[in-house]
Amino acid sequence: MRISRAHVIQSLTVLIAQALSLLLLAYISPGVKIATFGSAALVALSLAVLQAGVWWLFINFFAQLPALLFPFLTFLLIGIATLFVANHIPGVMIDGFWPAL
């Protein structure tokens, strides 16, 4: 598979947009604190890699669940992943599970 310049630019644009969204969330939400843009970008990159790595597993095992339960579990697991990633990156602090959602 050949990686084109357009794919790289698109990926970087999405990463920057996610990092800016995290900084905006930190500004609005009292339970989220992010020190620098680099920390926000690292959180966005880490979440993207984590979700890309385990999403196929999640889809295969939980696709048999009822239609209302599947999106709810997806929402909860993304919140747990956000809390896990944020606690391991310096300069990022999330005060609990609810702000991570």
Query: pLDDT tens digits, the chain, 101 residues: what are they?
Result: 688 888 889 989 999 999 999 899 889 988 888 999 999 999 999 988 888 888 777 777 777 777 778 778 888 888 888 888 888 899 888 887 777 77
Domain range enclosing 84? 5-100
Predicted confidence at residue 19, as pLDDT, reads 92
Q: Can you give the pLDDT at residue 56?
A: 79
Torsion of the alpha carbons at 51, 48, 25 and 6, rounded to the nearest 10: -140
pTM metric for this prediction: 0.81
Give me 65's structure tokens.
């669940």
**What does the alpha-carbon distance between residue 27 and residue 19 come to, in Å, rounded to a whole number?**
12
d(Cα 90, Cα 88) in Å, to the nearest integer? 7
Q: How many domains does the structure of the chain reveal?
A: 1
CB 42 within 8 A of CB 89: yes
Q: What angle do CA 9, 11, 17 make, to 5 degrees?
A: 100
DSSP class of 31: T
